[in-house]
Chain A
C-alpha cells in the first residue's frame, strides 16, 4: 500500500482526503464521526462574526439533477454559513482538535469585509488549536448579497486585501477558497498569491437553478412560491473544477501556489485526477452528503492501490504530473491521426454510434443488414463521439495511425508534429523552420 500521508500548506494529515466546509463539518458530532470513518482532515463549516448567527430558510434547501437510476449528478443548495453561535463552534473545534491531534482541522471563515472583523475572529480561532483557516470568498448566495462570500471573491483587489489583513493577524496558514463564478480564475488566484495566501482551494459552488416547478412556475427548490439561484456542486461540476485547478497550476505566476482541489470528487479516481492536475490534496462534500462518510474507505484504498501499481511512493509524486501536458489548443499536433475501431465481439449492436455519427457527425459508420457496425476510415475524423455514446466501455477505441501511413480520409501521409501556429491556413502563422 502506497503511503498516503499528506502535507498541505504546512498542515499534516494522514491522507489527502478532507471534508469540505459544508454540512458534513457543521458540528462536533459530525466531525468526530468523520475522523472515525477515516477522513484525513476537515474544513469546519464556515464561521461568521460574533453576535446573533445567520438564519437559514427552513427548506427545502437543495435542488438536484439525476442521471440514470436516479444517480445524483448535481446538487444545488441555498444554505448559508453556520447558523450556530460562534462560541459554541469554537468550543467544539477545540475539543475535537484535542482528541484528534493527527488530523487536519481547518476553520472556514467569512466575516464582513472590514479589517476589524477579521482581526477580531482570527485570534479566537487560533486559540482553539486549529491548524489553519480557509477564507470563504465563494458562497454565491445570501452572504454575497451582504457583501461577503463571492461578492469578495469576484473582486481580485478585495481578495488580495483581505488575505493580507489575515496574514498580518495570524500565524496560522491561510487558505483562500475561490469562487468559480468569474470569467478567469487567474485573477482571484493571483490576487490571493499577492496577498500572501499559503494556498488556494477551489471550487466553491456555481450559480445555478437546477429545475423549474412547472405547476408553481417557480425555480426549485421553491420556498413558499419563490426560488433563488443556489450553489451547484457534485459530479457534474468536476470538469469545471479540474480546468480551473489546471489553469492555476500551469500559469507560471501561480504555479507554486498550493491548491486544494474541490468539486465533484466522488471516487479515488477523481481525486487522482485533481492531484495529477496540480492539487496538493482534495476536499469532498457532495459525495459524503450522498453516500455518507464511509466513501472515504474506497477513496483511500483505491488511490493507494493505484499509486502502488504505478510506482508512486507518495502523494507528492503524483501532484502536478499531468500539468506539463495541459497546453493551449494551438499547440496540439495537427498530424496526430486516429481512427475509431469497433470491437465486434464486445458490440451489442445497439446502433447508438451509428445514429450519432450518421445524424450529427461525419457519416463514418456503416451498418450492414445484420447490424454489424464498422468504421469507414475514409470518413472518420476521430471525433470520439461514438466512443462517448457507446454503452459498452472499451467497445469502441481510438487507434493511432502510425507515421508514414496514408490517412484514407485526407490522402495525406501521417507526418511529424505540426501545430496551428505554423499551419499554412493560419493567417498569423510564424514561418516554421527558417
Chain B
C-alpha cells in the first residue's frame, strides 16, 4: 500500500509493514532476571509499607520483592495473586506513578521509586509461564452464583468464589471475556494477547463456566438470575457513552473513542485499520490519551487532544500526558467544541475557548478551527443497562460495604458500582471483596 502519514482522509496502511509490530509491542519491556535482581535489591522492606497501603488490592509488595530478591519469583507471584488474581494485568496497566510507586520511600529519598509494576510483572510472568494454575478449589459447597460481566471485577469475583468451592456462571454480553482488558486497555500495555491468556489461566481454577454473548436486559433478567442462583454479582462496567452535544455530531468519521479502541484491540492486522491524517480527540482522561496515542502509532500525521478545562483537571495522569506528548500528540486545554463542520464527513471542528465562572464552565466568544478528518469522542463512559429496581448513587449502582446493592442477594463492583476509581485494580479489589461477602452470606 502506498499510503503515508500525509495521505488525506481516513485510510489504512500509513506505515511500512514492519512498523506496526514495533509500535504496538510492549510499551514497558519485561525485566530480565538480572534487571529484576537489581531492581528488587532497592526495596527497603518498609514497615507497614506505604506501597501496600496505596495498592487498592493491598498486595504485600515488600514481601513479594524480597521473594524475587531471594530467587523465588514463583513464590512472589503467589504473594501477589493471593490478593490480586489479575496481578499480571495490573502489573501492566496500573498507573503505578499514582499508586504504589507514588508513595515508595525511594521516591522520597531519591526521586526514583522501586519499579514495583515491572517487578510484579516479572514475578507473575514467571509463574504464568509455568502454565499450571496455582490454586486449588475448596470442597464443593453446592452453591451457584451468577456473575454478570467478565471484566476485571467479574473475573476477580468469580475466581474467589470458585476457590471457596462455589460454582460460578460468568455471563458477558460481548463475544470474548475480559471486559476492557480485552477491548479497552491500550494495545501496547497488554501486548501479545495477554488479556486472553490471563482469562484462560484464571479459569484454570475450575468451577467457572463462561457464557459469552449473553446480555443482562436482552437475554437475561435479574429476576430470573435471582431465582435460579444463590447470589448474583454485577460487574457490567460502563457500557454507555456521553454525548458531545455539539452541532454536527452525526457527521461521518465522528466516533466514540472506546469503539475505535475496541476495533483496534480486536484487529488481527493493524495495517488494515483506517486512521485519519488529522485526528482530533475530545476529552481529558485515559481513554482520550489512549485513542490519541494509538492514532499516532497507526500513522496519523497530526493528533490533537482538546480538553475543556485546564491541564491540572485532566484525569489522565501526568505520566500519561507526558507519554502522549512524547509520541507527538498535541494537547490543547481550555477549549470545547461548538460545531463539527464538513460535507457528510467531518472536515474541521470549531472550538471556543472556555472560562471558569465560579465552578461552572462557560464558552467565550473566542473561537478557532482545527482540521480533522477523524474525530474521537472520549468524554466519559456511563452506566448503561443496569436492571430496574436497583438503587443508584449518582449515575452508578449504589453499594454499601463490600458491594451490597439495594437488592438482597445482589452484589455489584467495578466501574458500574459507586465509589472507588475507575481502574482495573479497583475493579479487582471490589470483585474479590464482594466474593468474600457472598461466600460469608452463603456459608454463614
Contact = CB atoms under 8 A, between A and B. Distances in A.
Interface stretch (A96-104, A129-137, A159-167, A343-351): A343-351
Contact of A351 (B37, B38, B47): B47
A391 interface: yes
Interface in A57-71: 68-70
Interface residues of B, number: 14
Interface in A188-237: none
Nearest to B109: A348
A349 B38 contact: no
Contacts of A350: 44, 46-47, 105
A392 B109 contact: yes
A352 interface: yes
A17 interface: no
B408 interface: no
B45 A352 contact: yes
Contact of B46 (A69, A70, A352, A392): A352
Interface in A98-143: none
Contacts of B211: none
A348 B105 contact: yes
Nearest to B108: A348
| Chain B facing A: main interface SS | helix
Interface in B17-44: 37-38, 41, 44
A269 interface: no
Interface string A352-393: 101100000000000100010000000000000000000110
A352 B105 CA distance: 11
B334 interface: no
Contacts of B45: 352
A367 B46 CA distance: 13
Contact of A352 (B37, B38, B44, B106): B44
Contacts of B223: none
Nearest to B46: A350
A363 to B, nearest CB: 13
Chain A interface size, under 10 / 10 to 19 / 20 to 34 / 35 or more: 10 to 19
A371 B109 CA distance: 15
Contact of B44 (A69, A70, A371, A391): A391
A264 to B, nearest CB: 22
Interface in B254-298: none
A354 B49 CA distance: 12
The interface centre, meaning the residue of B47, B48, B105, B106 with most chain A CB atoms within 10 A of its CB, is: B47
B199 to A, nearest CB: 36
Contacts of A349: 46, 50, 105, 108
A355 B49 CA distance: 11
Interface in B45-88: 45-50
Nearest to A395: B109
A348 B108 CA distance: 6
Contacts of B41: 68-69
The interface centre, meaning the residue of A69, A350, A354, A391 with most chain B CB atoms within 10 A of its CB, is: A350
A391 B109 contact: yes
Contacts of B38: 69
A85 B43 CA distance: 51
B109 to A, nearest CB: 4
Given A69-B38, A69-B41, A355 B47 contact: yes
Contacts of A367: 47-48
A313 B108 CA distance: 42
Given A69-B38, A69-B41, A354 B47 contact: yes
Contacts of A69: 38, 41
Contacts of B106: 348
A351 B46 contact: yes
Nearest to A392: B109
Nearest to A69: B41
A348 B110 CA distance: 9
Contacts of B44: 350, 352, 391
Contacts of B108: 348-349
Contacts of A70: 37
Contacts of B48: 351, 367, 371
Nearest to A353: B47
A70 B40 CA distance: 12
A76 B38 CA distance: 24
A366 to B, nearest CB: 13
A68 B45 CA distance: 13
A367 B108 CA distance: 18
A342 to B, nearest CB: 14
Interface in B102-152: 105-106, 108-109
A355 B108 CA distance: 19
A354 B37 CA distance: 26
Contact of B47 (A68, A352, A391, A392): A352
A367 B48 CA distance: 10
Contacts of A351: 46-49
A258 B207 CA distance: 78
Interface in A25-70: 68-70
A389 to B, nearest CB: 9
B48 to A, nearest CB: 6
A9 B369 CA distance: 89
A317 to B, nearest CB: 39
Contact of B50 (A68, A355, A371, A392): A371
Contacts of A355: 47
Contacts of B47: 350-352, 354-355, 367
A349 B38 CA distance: 22
A384 B313 CA distance: 47
Interface in A387-406: 391-392
A70 B34 CA distance: 10
A68 to B, nearest CB: 5
Nearest to B44: A350
A54 B45 CA distance: 49
Contacts of A68: 41
B285 to A, nearest CB: 30
Interface in A63-86: 68-70
Interface in A309-359: 348-352, 354-355
Nearest to A390: B44
A303 B45 CA distance: 36
Contacts of A371: 48, 50
7 contacts: A348-B105, A348-B106, A348-B109, A349-B46, A351-B47, A371-B50, A391-B44
Interface of A: 68-70, 348-352, 354-355, 367, 371, 391-392
Given A348-B105, A349-B105, A350-B47, 4 more contacts: A69-B38, A348-B106, A349-B108, A351-B46
Q: Lowest 8 A-B CB distances belong to which pairs?
A: A351-B47, A355-B47, A348-B105, A348-B109, A350-B46, A350-B105, A348-B108, A350-B44
